[in-house]
Amino acid sequence: MSAVRLKPLFHYCNREEKPRSLHRRSTNLSFSSSSSSYANNNYDKWPKLFSNFCKFKHHPRLCSIRASAAAETALVDTDASSGRLLFSETFQVKRVQKVEGKTSVRLDKKGDGGNYQLTVGCNLPGKWVLHWGVTYCGDFGREWDQPPPEMRPPGSIAIKDYAIETPLKKSSSVLEGRILYAVQIDINANSSIAAINFVLKEEEMGSWYQHRGRDFRVPLTGQLEEDGNTIRGNKGFSIWPGAFSQISSLLLKSEGSRPTGEKHVGDAKESQLQNKHVEGFYEECSFLKEELVQSFVTVSVTNNLKEDNTFVRFDTDLPGDVVVHWGVCRDGTKTWEIPPAPHPPETKVFRNKALQTLLKSNKDRDGSWGLFALDKQILGLVFVLKLNEYTWINNMGSDFYIPLTGKSSLPNPTSKSEHKQTFGTVTEPQEEQTGSGSTAEESQAVAHVAYTDGIINEIRNLVSDISSERSTKAKFKEAQQKILQEIEKLAAEAYSIFRSSSPTFLDEEPVSEPDEVLKPPVKICSGTGSGYEVLCQGFNWESHKSGRWYSVLNDKATDLSSLGFTVIWLPPPTDSVSPEGYMPRDLYNLNSRYGSLEELKALVNRFHEAGMKVLGDVVLNHRCAQYQNQNGIWNIFGGRLNWDDRAVVADDPHFQGRGNKSSGDNFHAAPNIDHSQDFVRNDLKEWLCWLREEIGYDGWRLDFARGFWGGYVKDYIDATEPYFAVGEYWDSLSYTYGEMDHNQDGHRQRIVDWINATNGTAGAFDVTTKGILHAALERCEYWRLSDQKGKPPGVVGWWPSRAVTFIENHDTGSTQGHWRFPSGKEMQGYAYILTHPGTPAVFYDHIFSHYQHEIKELIALRHRTKVHCRSTVKITKAERDVYAANIDEKVIMKIGPGHFEPPSGPHKWALAVEGRDYKVCLCQL
Amino acid sequence: MEVSVVRCSQTSVGKVEFSPRKLGFCNSMQICPKSKRIGFDLTRRWKMPSVRVALKAIRSDISRSEAVVDEKAMRKNSPEKPDDCVRLFVGLPLDCYSQQNARAIAVGLKALKLLGVEGVELPMWWGIVEKEGPCKYDWSSYLSLAKMVQDVGLKLHVSLGFHATEDRTAALPQWVSRIGETQPDIFFTDHSGRRYKKCLSLAVDDLPVLEGRTPMQVYEQFFESFRSSFADFMGSTITDVSVGLGPGGELRYPSFPLKNKSQIPAVGEFQCYDKHMLAQLKQHAEAAGKGNWGLSGPHDAPRYDDSPDSNGFMREIDGSWETQYGDFFLSWYSNQLISHGDRLLSLASRAFGDSLVTVSARVPLMHSWYKTRSHPSELTAGFYNTATRDGYGPVAEMFAKNSCKMIIPGMDLSDEYQPKGSQSSPESLLSQIMNACKGHGVHVSGENSLASSTSSGFGKIKDGISSSEDGLASFTYQRMGAYFFSPEHWPLFAEFVRSLDRIELHLDDLPDNGARVPSSTAASEQINDRHMQAV
């Protein structure tokens, strides 16, 4: 939400004893009212702008509120003592106020071994979390890395792959008389950590606290450049509320980030840092934290028996000047009128529509009060409070209404009917609307709401406002601000929609040409193959052990083909430091633990004969060196591609590369290749083309595709024109404190972004779907299998033709088991991916297990029904214990223990495959 | 996305409704001193466009009264005088016929409207509208888009496309493609017999190959159907209609390959080898008394990826192009193209002549090898333009004859970014074409190339618009989509739009506007006017 729109909702005012504090509140007046106080809503003169705000809900919580109101009237009734109390009510007002606190950062030496302990503390109560990461020695730039596990204090949670969140705990220490919340991090002397970076997060308010607009940074070695942002500076904090991208931070920064504390305890001078490790130090910084503060406004009405007057008394503890912007009503319509003079002191007439009365401030305490004398004929008083030019308080979106006559004031059995009566008057007569310009205009300041749909009309109004003589500079600026925010919002919205939808291709529509036989209509796209592919992962983590895996597969080729697989993914073929092949060394040496070059060629040939395509597993992100450079670093390559350190990315600390910075994430165990350089790309293209020709590979499985930009992948694909290509883009799903989020749009967006960067030339493994299946099956939460739009929640829901769905691979399962599919539920997973769009991949271990028969049945059904990678899914059930979907109106499937029967209707459905907790039915025509 | 900055000629009375507003712009300089403009804070990137919008509103508001006066004055003026004001048009994705992006487009339209853009360009495909079969037109998806545009208060520039796109977002109607299966000679054909199936050959224009109708009749009925279906929009929301004259919607032969793997653009091949083209060539040669020249195309013509000097025809020195035969062939080849354009544009101007819309068509900017003497890329594309002959005069003349506006792409290209060795010069070619248009009084609209734009590209466009003193009629920016709204691109575009306005102000700074004092009574009138315009 943008600054201007928020502005009127916030209430700034200054407390005398804390001149710097900034009060904000949103208009959630906790509201207690007798049922008759249906305030006249003068904003409905601007129905377009304010309709959202006006949807105030009436809570006739009569008894309880009544009690509290009565209790607090005790302190109210002083002046009109001779009268009869007709009405009294206390409105609770919640505001946000800023409290000044201190954060301490302490680095202590622990023993002589060069170990350190970092203590970060904060002396305000709250749900504090330290959001932190480290910079390793030799790393440049500001990227964070995750600290090694032994450094993470108990209770830490990994955020993505670069940060840790550790909650602060109440400690026994005290800072400035308040309990310190603190967390300790131990730093081992042997770790190669150059610095610790962190920000503080307060979870109740959702605010982030930075150090001078950037991350806190505690250097542990002297080699870091001093860029003015390390903790040993002496400026205060800036507050950074809300989510990272919010614009409101701009506003708040300017208002709230005045450097407040200037503390520089500890005497470590920068000059002492030149060498290896630093001395301990201690430092404090001040910051402002937002807290919710309750205020009240009490209104009491007394009847003076002697004179024909009614007294209305206002009392509030709201600090600063409080102006009551008010009018009276003579009938039930709640139309604002100005009462006849005399008016209370300090009253101004506002545009012939309302009065503005400044309340008198209390001498002994915060707040102010006022007493208005009114004619007895007046039925009610309507008001809103104005704290300053931008800050108005209303009653849950409508005006406060105070009934002045005894009979309607207190809750009574007739209030219901009165409710109706007053409610009816909310819709005002037409002529009233025309006359109410000024009030309406005024109330514009109270609430700004973005209405995308009505925006054009709104602009028109703004334009006419601008041109009118009334227009002021402030108004004009406001209009500008509003428009610019609207433009920004619209552009961002358009971007997000466009980005999430794949381009429309005409040839994706089914073509029914009569002369189909002459030319196969199948368009081959390297990301999808024919669209009818079923992939087999032809190895597991142990396959290298036999030393003759290629021969093993050779014998199974016919089997695999008859199981219905159309594509097989073979293990990485090159010379490798690790036996599994994922640490490639000499790319042109294809003798590996899986077999020799000749055996590989024969195998590929064998599969081609069996009618299957073959994918080569190519590791392009990193490559192991054969030689050390003069510093003893392994970054000189051998073999035909005898690159040196110029081919290695510069930001990998361990390998001293001289190339450019990596265009993706780093794989830390081997030198990461710098794909941004032409010679590297040309060499790799040549190598890939050689693999295509020499070995006969039909396509690629791209290892660790996160490691470099998808655009380079496009380059490689374009150069090699594979039949099928799939990239491994594997990062973690989003979890909130150990529980997987339902919405994994961010996760799949990253994968889709990668596919998009390859220009759709490569597909990607649908890690999102696997993750969601995990949660759904493991916890019996099948509702997770439908996203907010009723589509599949994985990549397959957004870009099915480029999603390669799988439930297990050599990393997640096999003997590694990094992220194993819920045991015993594999067939549910296969029932899902083998019936759904996307290109399903089946893991070797599952093929040659007791599941083989069921898998075969499912693949056969997929081929029979011609379900393909762009098939349409209609999710018919996504409940706690059952998920059901209709694919292409040809297949109905369900998984989960819950009950499901195919619908009766024009189509008849016959059970085709069934197993534990899953069922697949076919349409019988 | 396409942005057209239109400097319309006031040729039709229906356009007068724009003039008050435009004149408003002009006068604004006197009313709003520059100091009133808000200081732009560069860190807040959205600020600029919005400020511009708001100011624009004021400007147009205050200056109502003399606008009315001037309107009358202008009617007396020569209608040929280009209106000095710049309108902005913005276009839509090629695949906007699919409902998939309807919401994104709706949102995008609003953003553009707020940014101060005047309208959008909407590509309409033959392959979508007449998809079901001959004369079975379905305009529904485009009608709803037009309604959407109208509701937002934008103008519409409709591009009628009779070709298929390279990216497969649009195809020929299936019934046409099917005819092509049996009669492949309705397609352009190259020397080795490869068919270009994304567009009909111009040689079949008047042959009844499409189930009894000639392509010209098909186009004519298509125009007619369009006109009646969009009658409510014509002249009000729809202000421009452009007609696709060939491959990629441009007046040219499909002479260069779709996918060009090498860095240096191809010289291309002549596309005169379908049955009908060859027949016409033969006839033409016989009429000229050179029967043996009509048997085939030039035997020494280049292959697609050849360099100009690797073949006998295009060679800079002593190339066949400079021989009598070369002149014979090239004249015929280019005249075929111009006559095709003439046929189609005269149909269009007849169909839309009384509809208060401007008819336009696109010519290509075949800029590679421009610095060689033989201009091979232009020759194969059908423009007989060499170091010794101006090939664009006749083209401009044809546009002038049909009162059509010319759209030229590649306004963002600059010589310095062209691949080395390609002898390319988009800037010189552009100015040659512009001069030809100027000479024949043809108005010109610009477009950028399809490549994604950079800030330098925007700078180039801006220079082009401001430097052409006789006025670029419009500019079309390719094209709305995810990239267009992305954080990398959108700010550049917004900045571009804002800077266009500055150009406009420079123009308005000219002294001949005189000192005019707005009357305050004008304001209220103007409010009403604004409402009417925006509705």
Average pLDDT score over chain A = 72
Judge: A499–B153 Cβ closer than 8 Å, yes or no.
no
Residue B396: what pLDDT?
Answer: 94
**Residue of chain A with shortest Cα separation from B96:** A504
Distance (Å, whole) CA A150 – CA A188: 9
Distance from CA of A501 to the nearest CA of B (A): 7
Stretch A786-800: mean pLDDT:
88
Residues 134-163 (B) with a CB less than 8 A from some CB of A: 152-153
Judge: A487–B62 Cβ closer than 8 Å, yes or no.
no
Determine the residue type at A254.
S
Phi, psi (rounded to 5 degrees) for B431: -70, -30
pLDDT at A232 over 70: no
Q: Which residues of B touch A711 (CB under 8 A)?
A: none
**Residue of chain A with shortest Cα separation from B106:** A494
Choose the catalytic residue: B2, B121, B447, B504: B447
To probe the interface with A, which of B48, B64, B110 has the most A CB atoms within 10 Å?
B110
Distance (Å, whole) CA B166 – CA B183: 22
Judge: A504–B62 Cβ closer than 8 Å, yes or no.
no
Judge: A490–B114 Cβ closer than 8 Å, yes or no.
yes
Q: Is B250 a catalytic residue?
A: yes
Tokens describing residue A235:
């400026």
Distance from CA of A716 to the nearest CA of B (A): 13
The angle that helices A473-500 and A455-467 make with each other, rounded to 10 degrees, is 160
Judge: B114–A250 Cβ closer than 8 Å, yes or no.
no
Choose the catalytic residue: B250, B378, B427, B504: B250
Q: Tell me the catalytic residues of A.
A: 703, 728
Phi, psi (rounded to 5 degrees) for A144: -95, 155
A587 and A691 Cβ atoms separated by less than 8 Å: no
Which residues have a Cβ under 8 Å from the Cβ of A253 and sit 6 or more positions away?
A213, A238, A239, A240
Q: ipTM for the complex?
A: 0.72
Distance (Å, whole) CA B359 – CA B240: 6
pTM score, whole prediction? 0.42
Q: How many CA atoms lie within 13 A of A183 on its CB side?
A: 22
**In this complex, which of B61, B107, B530 lies closest to A493 when CB atoms are compared?**
B107
Residue A883, Ramachandran bin (φ over 0: left; ψ between -120 and 50: alpha; else beta) = beta
Distance from CA of B101 to the nearest CA of A (A): 7
Residue B526: what pLDDT?
Answer: 37
**In this complex, which of B62, B111, B167 lies closest to A494 when CB atoms are compared?**
B111
Among A34-48, A385-399, B57-71, B182-196, top mean pLDDT goes to: B182-196
Residue B223: what pLDDT?
Answer: 93
**In this complex, which of A476, A491, A511 lies closest to B54 when CB atoms are compared?**
A476
* A interface residues, B as partner, C-beta within 8 Å: 250, 452, 455-456, 459-460, 462-464, 466-469, 476-477, 479-481, 483-488, 490-495, 497-499, 501, 503-507, 511, 513, 515
Distance (Å, whole) CA B169 – CA B191: 28
User: pLDDT per position in chain B (535 positions), as tens?
Assistant: 444 434 433 333 333 333 333 333 333 333 333 333 333 333 333 333 333 333 333 333 333 333 333 333 333 333 333 344 566 787 788 888 877 778 888 888 988 888 888 889 999 999 989 988 888 999 998 999 999 999 888 899 999 999 988 777 788 998 998 898 888 889 998 888 888 888 899 999 999 999 889 999 999 999 999 999 999 898 889 999 999 999 888 999 998 765 554 556 678 889 999 989 999 999 999 998 888 888 888 888 888 777 777 788 888 888 889 899 999 999 999 999 999 999 999 999 988 888 788 999 999 988 888 888 889 889 999 999 998 899 999 999 999 999 999 998 888 887 877 777 778 888 889 889 988 998 998 988 888 775 455 667 777 777 777 665 556 777 877 778 888 888 778 888 888 887 776 544 333 333 333 333 333 333 333 333 333 333 2
B201 and B274 Cβ atoms separated by less than 8 Å: yes
Determine the residue type at B39.
G
Residue A389: what pLDDT?
Answer: 65
Q: Which residues of A touch B38 (CB under 8 A)?
A: 477, 480
Distance from CA of A668 to the nearest CA of B (A): 30
Judge: A456–B110 Cβ closer than 8 Å, yes or no.
yes
**In this complex, which of A466, A501, A505 lies closest to B58 when CB atoms are compared?**
A466
pLDDT at A427 over 50: no
Phi, psi (rounded to 5 degrees) for A204: -65, -45
Judge: B487–A506 Cβ closer than 8 Å, yes or no.
no
Residues 162-181 (B) with a CB less than 8 A from some CB of A: 167-171, 174, 178, 181
Q: How does pLDDT run across A628-678, given as a tens digit for each residue? A: 888 788 888 888 888 888 888 888 777 878 888 888 788 878 888 888 888
CA distances from A489 to A452, A560, B46, B92, B111 (A): 9, 52, 10, 19, 8
**In this complex, which of B50, B100, B534 lies closest to A487 when CB atoms are compared?**
B50
Judge: B98–A487 Cβ closer than 8 Å, yes or no.
no
B101 touches chain A (CB under 8 A): yes
Q: How does pLDDT run across A861-881, given as a tens digit for each residue? A: 998 888 888 888 999 888 889
First to last CA, chain A: 53
Distance (Å, whole) CA B157 – CA B139: 16
Q: Which residues of A touch B111 (CB under 8 A)?
A: 486-487, 490-491, 494
Distance from CA of A713 to the nearest CA of B (A): 16
pLDDT band of residue A764 (cuts 50, 70, 90) is very high
A342 upstream amide cis, omega within 30 of 0: yes
Q: How does pLDDT run across A455-473, given as a tens digit for each residue? A: 455 544 444 444 444 445 5
**In this complex, which of A469, A487, A507 lies closest to B49 when CB atoms are compared?**
A487
Judge: B51–A250 Cβ closer than 8 Å, yes or no.
no
Distance from CA of B443 to the nearest CA of A (A): 32
3-state helix/strand/coil string of B162-193: CCCCCCCCCCCCHHHHHHHHHCHHHEEECCCC
**Residue of chain A with shortest Cα separation from B59:** A467
Among A450-459, A474-483, A835-844, B346-355, top mean pLDDT goes to: A835-844
Determine the residue type at B70.
D
**In this complex, which of B47, B98, B103 lies closest to A484 when CB atoms are compared?**
B47
Size of the A and B interface in Cβ pairs below 8 Å? 133
Residue B258: what pLDDT?
Answer: 55
Q: How does pLDDT run across A314-359, given as a tens digit for each residue? A: 888 887 788 888 888 877 667 778 888 788 888 888 777 788 888 8
Neighbours of A539 (CB within 10 A): 26
Judge: A481–B50 Cβ closer than 8 Å, yes or no.
yes
Distance from CA of B514 to the nearest CA of A (A): 23
**In this complex, which of B50, B153, B178 lies closest to A484 when CB atoms are compared?**
B50
Residues 490-519 (B) with a CB less than 8 A from some CB of A: 490, 494
CA distances from B481 to A738, B184, B239 (A): 37, 35, 23
A895 and A917 Cβ atoms separated by less than 8 Å: yes
